[in-house]
Amino acid sequence: MSGFRLDEGGRVDRAAPLTFTFDGRRLSGYRGDTLASALLANGVHLVGRSFKYHRPRGILAAGAEEPNALIQVERGGARTEPNIRATQLDLYDGLQVASQNRWPSLQRDIGAVNDVANKLFPSGFYYKTFMWPRSFWERLYEPFIRAAAGLGRAPDAGDPDTYASRYAHCDVLVVGAGAAGIAAALSASATGARVMLVDEQAGIGGWLLAEPSARMDGEAPDAWLEHARAELASRNVVVLSRTTAIGHYHDNFVVLSERLSDHLANPGEGMPRERLWRVRAGQVVLAQGALERPLVFGGNDRPGVMLAGAARTYLHRYGVRVGDRVVVVTSDDSAYGAALELAATETVVSAIIDVRDHPPTEVVERARHAGVEVLAGWTVTETQGRQRVHLVKAEPLAGGPSRTFHCDAVLMSGGWTPSVHLYSHARGKVAWRDDLGAFVPGEPVAGVRTAGAGNGSFALADAVAEAAEAGAAAATNAGFASDPASFAVEAGDHAAFGSRLVEPAATARRGRAFVDFQNDVTAKDIGLAVREGYRSIEHVKRYTTTGMATDQGKTSNINALALAAGALGSDIPAVGLTTFRPPYTPTTFGAIAGNHADETFDVQRKTAIDSWAEENGAVFEPVGQWRRARHFPQAGEDMDAAVRRECRATRTTAGMFDGSTLGKIEVIGPDAAEFIHRLYTNPILKLGVGRCRYGIMLGEDGFIRDDGVIGRLADDHFHVTTTTGGAASVMASLEDYTQTEWPDLDVWLTSITEQWAVIGVTGPKAREIIAPLIDDIDLSPDAFPHMSVREGHLRGMPTRLFRISFSGELGFEINVPSRFGRAVWEAVLEAGEPHGVCPYGTEAIHVLRAEKGFIITGQDTDGTVTPRDAGLEWAIGKKKTDFVGMRSLSRPDMLADGRKQLVGLLTDEPSVVLEEGAQIVADRNIEPPCVPIGHVTSAYYSDAAGRSIALALVEDGRGRMGDTLHVPMPDRTIPVKVTDTVFYDPEGERLHD
Amino acid sequence: MTEPSSGFAARSHLDGKRFESAEAGRLSLEPAPFQRRYHVRVRPGDIEGVSAALGFDLPTSIGAVTTSSGAKALCLGPDEWFVLAEDLLSGLGGGDAALAGRISWVEVSDRDVGLRLSGTDAAATLAAGCPLDLTRLATPGCVRTVFEGVQIVVLKSSEADFEVSAVGSFAPYIWTILERAARQNEAVRNAGDGD
Amino acid sequence: MLLIPCPYCNEKRPEIEFAYAGEAHLVRPSDPATTSDEAWMTFLYLRDNPRGEHAERWRHIHGCGRFFNAIRDTYEDRFITTYKAGEPRPSVEGDA
């Protein structure tokens, strides 16, 4: 093991060495390491190249805020994932990772030429630099930019992993399991409230893990955490680690993303990779902690330059020294702790450069006593080193001779930013605290409390007391009266926090001083944006892209804001913060998709007869959520041939189809007839028992919404069908009218769509085929005429038998209880086989109905079509004074000339089938832009007509009978003749046999 | 309507499905046997009168479940019930002059399919897609809600016994999510032992 | 995801159980045939679009099935109160 790992200390297991590879190089670490801590233990700081300038970049932080150390994780095949933060990736044996955004290698990267040419890429460069000459954009600039854009490499195959998803409910959710969060959870759980405690890190403890000298109830952090863990477990507190609260939504709906297997070398069989928790919490305590800010000075992005707090975390949590010789540059007391603790190891601390003129005397004295030089009122102006810092230059802020220091690491601290992300998601309004140089939660949000460093209470004792108070108050509010637990807290040796924000403009004196590391935004870029006229911080953000990378500006927002405020001559609270939006950290699509993946991506509904269709070679098509058999090709047949055969058989002998998907509603009650009469255009009151009527339903706007068959089973009892796609919306609309418009009508509705399987038998032989099966219904034409319904039995099975037709042939629709649907289907098929019955699918249904000019709502209508437009005026009850939508039919627009009307179209060439949706023009010679006068709604080859047929909506269509119109297509313009909509058996003789 | 006697074979959307957790008692997931299901609607002001005329007790508060004549009546809405019975409840809702015009009693036995979950993990498994806190539901109790976009009715008989009813063509989707969740929960629990 | 108080179930239920159903307290003219084109057009198409309190119809479609009315703050996306269909619009805090 290298010399950067201490012999003892930290929470890594030195008895469990692990090997991993980084860019193919074999390295070792320990169980308990993150990739970042293991790399640092191996002396590796250079881990990637930056997005825009391809500058060498190292590890900046130790947690979720890391902007630089993004790596590609390789787990074989499609299990490759870019942009994983090395600081959050738990090491496992055999882990393979690669650096990103470099070619051919991390050390020698061609793209680094961008850095030399950096003047070409100022903020907003994509709006300016590549504009001229114009013709270069498509051929040169765009392909180049596309090739260069993006970080890492996306997998090129489907995600082989599964993701779990669940809801959860608790009385109190505590986000963040540092000392504060634990104190809150212990206080909240004391009196029986259901509590959840979640943390994004691998275990509980948070910052306490980097404060070994702190004491909680007299115990060292490790021992206290052990006791706390046991206590929480005994109270059934759900403790989730590696779990990020990614969003805080209305009414304390908090979404958590739990990483289940990325830290395991060999996840078990069936192990989901992540689990999304959709938590509804009564009360929420946010104890998210704080994130350290970088200082903005020239060369602050060089590998080896990192946050001081991160260096402490690596030292105490992982037993890793981040360098042999370090320089500390700070505006906050806390960095002195990092300096002195490192100085207590083999590491030499060359100097503490404090940008404050008057840092607290006690803090300074302590450093000097330890033999560390302190330069107050100085700043670093420049760093040097090709792939890692080896020298810094510093100078007094007030001016004066500079000094240089050799080093292999620079620790910086610009103070701490409370994490107010979730509070902001929950619509909390942050407030500026000048004494902290930070925004903190302002007015409380109902049901949400903030505590600890995330609330601006940085001192351990303050944070713990505040959080205990918040936890108890949350439990009390949730109905479990509780008092705050009390803890004896002794801060660690170097726990001092204290800073004001130092103007980044003061330290960004020379060179390129980075604000947003991930998006390569410098202090100068922010200034340029303001000089170019951007005033709103939201605009400065978007123009410079600061804060818009995958880290969402966790380390950069305040510095960028301070720079913008300075350039605008305003102050920070006046400029305001950009909006925080979920997710807190990047979240996999797998976790977000959750249950909606693979075969449950969406519901696929199948009828009771679907299995027969599948076994008999059906080709299916989706119709809404249903899958329906489209046609049943026989050997050697394509769809056209199959559909022609199915249509011909139906017109010459008989066909049968599965009509089960049609919506069905049972309407019962003394006012059932009156209700249906008001909802449909047709007259219903006098419909006889046992009779059916075709019905059209309009919206109040007069446009066709749905159609179906209304069958009267008894005076107060109807069986109403709807289209397949309209079933749910028609049901909802009917319920609306019964509940809210006409609650005085006594009528009740029940959806019976799937109670009944529907087997349609249609064609000249239909009666002969079903007759032997029907027990007790007289099928003779006189006893059971077209548009009738009977209840009876089919070989003992209850059935509702309709005599109706959508094909223009003699037709029956047999309704039987769904669970017997397939068995009855097979019985009908068997009975029909001697007659040559032919199963047909939806495509043949469409052709057969189009031959008769029957519309499909939603295909031949589009929400702007009235019954008159569709040629269905005959279906409007002439004596009716009102029905839904009737009044709209006499509005001036509805009566005006020029409305589109449904007509038939015949192509001059009988074999040419038009494209559905194709536009229609009157004059083939007009120049574009030509105004279409209509469009094709249905088009098929008709076996019965021996030619192609089409339906279309055409302006004043019925006034153009016999006219020739034109359908322009990409390769030619097709002449068509306007005709009636009925192409077969116009007198309807075949229906009444 | 009488039961068919013709010997037609019945099929269900969940034929052949079954899941048992490796550890006994945690979860048993199975299709409910065929039951008689009725969708019942009565005017809110007439519930007691109709109950008396029916000789069948319709509960009056949403979420309540009563057992009467060997059938369970689940109150889904102020004027809406779902009745589950082992056997055909013939005669109810039809024919009786005293009930004429006062009730809608529609058999939906073939419309809906039931899934039963029993065991200590039953509620946690349902939580894969059910947004409600079922531990807070009364016993017995019922609720109509939505499971990953699909409407369901949950009947809770005990803390470890739930029956989910859904329209048949949605049942395989619900089943697949529940079974996947059950397997995932098992895998996570197994991994937890070694972590 | 909001919790919406259902006035029939008497409890707060998750938003995904509900469906929005447009502006509340629009009354269908009792005799459409004698309603003027202007009045009918208003009934069909003219809707309020306030920033703030808005009376809306919602349906607990995946719950008790009832339509009900709500006063919702459209700016904060917050339900101020809900009430049964047929009841008058209640006055709520903040009303003039």
Section A440-445 average pLDDT: 95
Name every chain C residue with its beta carbon within 8 A of the beta carbon of A735.
59, 65, 67
pTM for the whole structure: 0.95
Section A266-274 average pLDDT: 92
**Contact B147/B164 with Cβ under 8 angstroms?**
yes
Helix (H), strand (E) at residue A464: helix A460-477
Select from B173, B117, B127 the least CA-distant residue to B150: B173
pLDDT tens by residue, A700-730: 999 999 999 999 999 999 999 999 999 999 9
Number of CB atoms found within 10 A of residue A57's CB: 31
Amino acid at B68: S
pLDDT tens by residue, A468-519: 999 999 999 999 999 999 999 999 877 767 667 888 888 998 899 999 999 9
The band of A149, judged by pLDDT with boundaries at 50, 70 and 90, is: low
Let me know how many helices (H) and strands (E) chain B has, helices first.
3, 11
Tell me the β-bridge partners of A650: none
**Contact A817/A756 with Cβ under 8 angstroms?**
yes
> How high is the pLDDT of residue A1?
40
Cβ separation B191–A819 shorter than 8 A: no
Residues 6 or more apart whose Cβ sits within 8 Å of residue A668: A716, A717, A718, A747, A748, A750, B41, B104, B106
Neighbours of chain B (3+ CB pairs under 8 A): A, C
Cβ separation B41–A748 shorter than 8 A: yes
Residues 6 or more apart whose Cβ sits within 8 Å of residue A311: A322, A326, A338, A342, A409, A411
- Chain C's closest residue to B129, CA to CA, is C16
pLDDT tens by residue, B47-99: 999 998 888 889 999 999 999 888 999 999 999 999 999 887 765 655 677 78
Whether the bond into A772 is cis, omega within 30 of 0: no
Phi first, then psi, for residue B65 (nearest 5°) are -130, 130
The band of B195, judged by pLDDT with boundaries at 50, 70 and 90, is: very low
> How high is the pLDDT of residue B90?
66
Section A273-281 average pLDDT: 98
Asked if A427 has any chain C CB less than 8 Å from its own CB, the reply is yes
pLDDT tens by residue, A330-379: 999 999 999 999 999 999 999 999 999 999 999 999 999 999 999 999 99
> What is the Cα Rg of chain A in Å?
38
Cβ separation C63–B144 shorter than 8 A: yes
Phi first, then psi, for residue A989 (nearest 5°) are -65, -30
Select from A391, A296, A305 the least CA-distant residue to A55: A305
ipTM of the complex: 0.97
Mean pLDDT score across all residues of chain A = 94
Q: Which of residues 620-659 of A touch B (CB under 8 A)?
A: 626
Whether the bond into A133 is cis, omega within 30 of 0: yes
Name every chain B residue with its beta carbon within 8 A of the beta carbon of C10.
62
Whether the bond into A929 is cis, omega within 30 of 0: yes
By residue count, chain A amounts to 993
Amino acid at A357: D
Instruction: State how far residue A644 is from chain C, nearest Cα, in angstroms.
Output: 43
> What is the Cα Rg of chain C in Å?
15
SS3 A928: coil
The DSSP bridge pattern shows strands A56-57 and A48-49 to be: antiparallel
**Cα–Cα distance measured from residue A838 to residue A651, given in angstroms and rounded to the nearest whole number:** 11
**Cα–Cα distance measured from residue A427 to residue A410, given in angstroms and rounded to the nearest whole number:** 38
> How high is the pLDDT of residue B1?
42
Cβ separation B111–A280 shorter than 8 A: no
SS3 A986: coil
Section A397-421 average pLDDT: 96
Strands (E), A95-237: 95-98, 163-175, 195-198, 215-216
**Cα–Cα distance measured from residue A424 to residue A580, given in angstroms and rounded to the nearest whole number:** 6
**Cα–Cα distance measured from residue C71 to residue C79, given in angstroms and rounded to the nearest whole number:** 6
pLDDT tens by residue, A794-819: 999 999 999 999 999 999 999 999 99
- Chain C's closest residue to A279, CA to CA, is C1
> How high is the pLDDT of residue A929?
78
Q: Is the pLDDT of residue C34 over 70?
A: yes
The band of C96, judged by pLDDT with boundaries at 50, 70 and 90, is: very low
Q: Is the pLDDT of residue A133 over 80?
A: no
Asked if B144 has any chain C CB less than 8 Å from its own CB, the reply is yes
Q: Which of residues 241-260 of A touch C (CB under 8 A)?
A: 249-251, 253
Six token digits for residue A121? 């890429």
Phi first, then psi, for residue A549 (nearest 5°) are -85, -175
Select from A786, A767, A765, A807 the least CA-distant residue to A984: A807
SS3 C16: helix
Q: Is the pLDDT of residue B4 over 60?
A: no
Whether the bond into B140 is cis, omega within 30 of 0: yes
Phi first, then psi, for residue A961 (nearest 5°) are -50, 130
Instruction: State how far residue B117 is from chain C, nearest Cα, in angstroms.
Output: 21
Name every chain A residue with its beta carbon within 8 A of the beta carbon of B106.
666, 668, 750, 752
DSSP 8-state symbol, A634: P
Q: Is the pLDDT of residue B23 over 60?
A: yes
The band of C92, judged by pLDDT with boundaries at 50, 70 and 90, is: confident
Section A609-629 average pLDDT: 97
**Cα–Cα distance measured from residue A841 to residue A657, given in angstroms and rounded to the nearest whole number:** 6
pLDDT tens by residue, C43-68: 999 999 999 999 999 999 999 999 99
> How high is the pLDDT of residue A153?
87
Phi first, then psi, for residue C41 (nearest 5°) are -60, -40
Q: Which of residues 54-93 of C touch B (CB under 8 A)?
A: 62-66
Strands of the A838-839 sheet, one edge to the other: A788-794, A797-803, A811-817, A756-762, A655-658, A838-839
The band of B2, judged by pLDDT with boundaries at 50, 70 and 90, is: very low
pLDDT tens by residue, A881-905: 999 999 999 999 999 999 999 999 9
First to last CA, chain B: 59
Section A203-216 average pLDDT: 94
Q: Is the pLDDT of residue B5 over 70?
A: no
Q: Which residue matches tokens 């070694």?
A: B194
> How high is the pLDDT of residue A147?
67
- Chain B's closest residue to A671, CA to CA, is B101
**Cα–Cα distance measured from residue A217 to residue A227, given in angstroms and rounded to the nearest whole number:** 11
Q: Is the pLDDT of residue A115 over 90?
A: no
Cβ separation A819–B110 shorter than 8 A: yes
Q: Which of C9, C16, C64 sits opposite B131 (nearest CB)?
A: C16
> How high is the pLDDT of residue B194?
44
- Chain B's closest residue to C84, CA to CA, is B78
